[in-house]
Structure 1
């Protein structure tokens, strides 16, 4: 008698969903385990998501190609894929267009499907709007009203659209407000010969500003700190050993130790980036060792400075941005929105320092919504409302165990529900880059196939 396949629903087909599905198929094939993987998303192609759906060649990966393999046990896989696609064009040190990485993830998943043995992959062109326990498994309700039952569910939801609660109501209702610059077609139809205002000065701002900047138009970018992501080094840097830091010393002690370590790396290697990059293996442990009060303090006092040094821009992107600033096409600095009033042909903006601007449109470049309690996703709301999940201490994701299994609010045995990526950021601090996501995808797949559901 043929064994019934284990049914796994992966909700979301972006990078984290594609990597999880590929890991499930690979591991099931190696173990000879029958598996039925349902990959649920309305996206036209797997592996793209918001980050890798862009078609602009100047939207580059923020990590060199040599560190972007889909599999930790095959670190050169992406570089070899690039070489097969375009021999001699890209090296492991290059920051390649993000659209190429999206295509790569799609082929990774297709290859895993082709070699899956008794495992099967099914694409479901729909979205999940609700979930509940059903015996030992889960029952999902889709946007079309259909029900899908599964023995295990993986939430691979990626990042969420930016928050716009900060914007005055009359601005939010105006067609001259771009609530999410990554939404399909969001940048089309902007006034050609008027200045623009971008709220937020992170990596999203850089990408958007470079699309919009041109002679005859000034793109203003402001944020509370006015800090812009630092560039990656133009050439590969040597590795350094991570420091030994005791989080029990509290946030002030950790700060002092890390600053001393980065300074020592700069003296030894000539670049502060060596010190920052060496923290990757110990970041989660340091974060988890801090008290809840220290984590909150880090968020308010240190997070922005950490982000601009840790999440850097590709060298070519940074050079293009600096050139546009030098030309006067882009201005960037500190500033907070006090009011914005749409007019007949633009938006009249007042900043808290008294400055006034008239622009053709205001664009929300503040980055993804970080508070899981405020995301406009019906599935997240249902899971929180039913107690199948609870926010972490900072509200930046779901509370999970070490392998990504979602913990219920009442402390009862968990549902067969896992997550990875952005929904684990509150407990790991760093959880949105491919090196972290590919490791999590492997852990989740292994836990599910071990029969933990």
Structure 2
């Protein structure tokens, strides 16, 4: 009897885990649970060519090491790409989909049974005779020896400002799918709540025919600008000193800052960090200056980012959740502005909208929004006393990270919206990404990867993180000898 794996979530993280399992011996069956086509999750399921990946081809790969597998995939199909390029997200969706189908054929030819159950996983409970039972929203129950929770980001954050208006025809709870935004009138005035990556996607889509867009967020800041996010040709971060950082040390912040600044200095042959950023106060001016710096090759900080992300994830994985949350909270600006910076092409398009007068950024959220009484649309009430008429509001404040809850009977609930996860307690996640038994504290054969791994991984909206996790988990399975009887399935998969 071999292992019977169930992967909950068929987006990029789920495909990464599937391809890693394809090389692990002793697997008898793999079932992927997702209501959507496998490989086409929220991040890469778009078909809009305007929307680019926020990471370069080099690190947007289902394989964490060596030459980018995405680069090989695109080059084999005639795409003129470089490892530093930002490609349209739909290409990554196609890549994930095709790699899944390829590996599916490979494992099926070796005798492994593969199924796609088109439903949504809702819970994981104990199985008969050991193992686990995965409960689906269509009433089916799947038995498994090993469960991999690759839950994606599919529940948008809706700001309190507009939460009571959910369901209003002139309110979009998320920019995606962007088709709805494209269908708005060409003269529409749109308020976008947010100023980071999702908000920029919405702004780019809305701005093509010249709609007027106002971005509003607590920070009122756009991300920084980069021309690549690739692995450096040579290490720039001091790994020994980084591992020695003690989170409870009083000089932690100073020591960490020095290591980051030193890494940026090595990446840029000693260029001072202050010369790589703009100090302009106005968002449009700062965007223009940072775009100029990026396009003229004066932002070597970008070549330290990939290494910094790996170092942060590796070094903080064993920290207590509260410690990691507190420390990363102090570095929120670094993470949101520089680690999650935007491609230069997107910056050029935004700057063009500023120049045409069709884009503005508000320094903070409105005090209130109310539906217009004399017709469709909204009245937006600003802190300075102005009231502005808007035709549509788009929530672009990001997505809730998947939140797991453990019930007293041992059932593990799979929630995406923390507001709905009031029952039970948050389970402990081991350093090797396994959910721990609430009674013994021992790791169960339930793994969390990608976005679901946020209790242990600091930066999860990064495909390279999921790829590294999947490779580690697959290596662990190679050393495992855990077997239970073949699973049974109630219900019919699509």
Sort the TM-score into its range (normalised by shorter chain).
0.7 to 0.9
Q: State yes or no: 1:52 paired with 2:52.
A: no
SS of corresponding position for 1:337: coil
Question: 1-side partners of 2:24 and 2:320: how far apart?
Answer: 37
1:387 shift after superposition: 4.7
Q: Note the C-alpha offset of 1:451.
A: 3.2
> Which residue number in structure 1 is paired with residue 481 of structure 2?
451
Matches of 1:59 and 1:160, distance apart in 2: 18
Match of 1:76 in 2: 68
Taking structure 1 as the reference length, the TM-score comes to 0.86
Q: CA RMSD in A?
A: 2.9
For residues 97-128 of structure 1, the C-alpha deviation after alignment (integer angstroms, 9 at most, x for no partner) is 11111111112122222222132321111222
Distance 1:143 1:290 in 2: 35
Displacement of 1:334? 2.5
CA contact (8 A) 2:20 2:474 kept: yes
Residues 145-201 of structure 1, C-alpha deviation per residue, up to 9 Å, x if partnerless?
Answer: 122211111111112322225134542242111112225754354344221111111
Deviation of 1:386 (Å): 4.8
| Alignment partner, residue 291 of structure 2 | none
* Superposition deviation, residue 137 in structure 1: 1.1
- Cα distance, 1:289–1:248 mapped onto 2, change above 3 Å: farther
Shift of the alpha carbon at 1:229? 1.6
User: 1:150 maps to what in 2?
Assistant: 144
Structure 2 residue corresponding to 1:241, chosen from 236, 246, 249: 236
Cα–Cα, structure 1 residues 127 and 133, in superposed 2: closer, same or farther, change >3 Å? same
Q: 1:447 to 1:286 in 2, by over 3 A?
A: closer
2:230 is aligned with 1:229 = no
Superposed displacement of residue 338, structure 1: 2.2
The superposition leaves residues 245-297 of structure 1 with CA deviations (integer Å, 9 ceiling, x where unpaired) of: 44326476333233333444455514223344432332124435766655443
User: Of 253, 256, 264, which residue of structure 1 is paired with 2:254?
Assistant: 256
Distance 1:267 1:24, change over 3 A: closer
Which of 463, 469, 472 is 1:440 aligned to? 469
User: Which of 96, 107, 110 is residue 105 of structure 1 equivalent to?
Assistant: 96
The partner residue of 1:25 within 14, 22, 27 is 22
The residue aligned with 1:376 is none
Higher relative contact order (CA 8 A, sep 6+): 2
Structure 2 CA distance for partners of 1:136 and 1:337, relative to 1, 3 Å = farther
Measured in 2, the distance between the counterparts of 1:38 and 1:255 equals: 45
Q: What's the CA shift string for 1:210-234, capped at 9, x where partnerless?
A: 0001455211111111122212236
Task: Give the structure 2 partner of residue 377 of structure 1.
Answer: none
Q: Give the Cα separation in 2 of the matches to 1:223 and 1:325.
A: 17
Which deviates more, 267-276 or 107-116? 267-276
Name the residue aligned to 2:431. 402
Decide whether the 8 Å contact of 1:250 with 1:290 is kept in 2. Answer: no
Number of aligned residues: 433
Give, in whole Å, the separation in 2 of the partners of 1:261 and 1:103.
38
Match of 2:285 in 1: none
The 1-side partners of 2:214 and 2:32 are apart by 40
Is 1:342–2:371 an aligned residue pair?
yes
Superposed displacement of residue 340, structure 1:
1.2
Q: Distance in 2 between matches of 1:333 and 1:185?
A: 25
Q: Counterparts of 1:172 and 1:60 in 2: how far apart (Å)?
A: 28
Q: How does 1:338-417 map to 2 (within 5 A)?
A: 338-343=367-372, 344-370=375-401, 372=403, 380=404, 383=406, 386-388=409-411, 399-417=428-446
8 Å Cα contact 2:125-2:410 kept in structure 1:
no
Q: Among residues 98, 122, 126, which one is paired with 1:129 in the alignment?
A: 122
Residues in 2 aligned to 1:186 and 1:369: alpha-carbon distance in whole angstroms: 22
Where 2:251 maps in the other structure, the secondary structure is helix
Greater mean deviation of Cα atoms: 11-20 or 211-220? 211-220
Q: Which deviates the most, 210-219 or 6-15?
A: 210-219
The 1:126/1:400 distance shift into structure 2, 3 A limit, reads same
Alpha carbons 1:209, 1:219 under 8 Å: kept: yes
Aligned mate of 1:12, from 5, 9, 14 = 9
Q: In 2, are the aligned partners of 1:248 and 1:290 still within 8 Å (CA)?
A: no
Residues 406 and 419 of structure 1 are in contact (CA less than 8 Å); yes or no, is this contact kept in structure 2? Answer: yes
Normalising by the residue count of structure 2, what TM-score does the alignment of the two structures yield?
A: 0.79
Conserved? CA contact 1:13–1:46, under 8 Å: yes
The CA distance in 2 between the partners of 1:308 and 1:235, in whole Å, is 14
Structure 2: which 5+ runs fail to align?
A: 272-299, 484-494
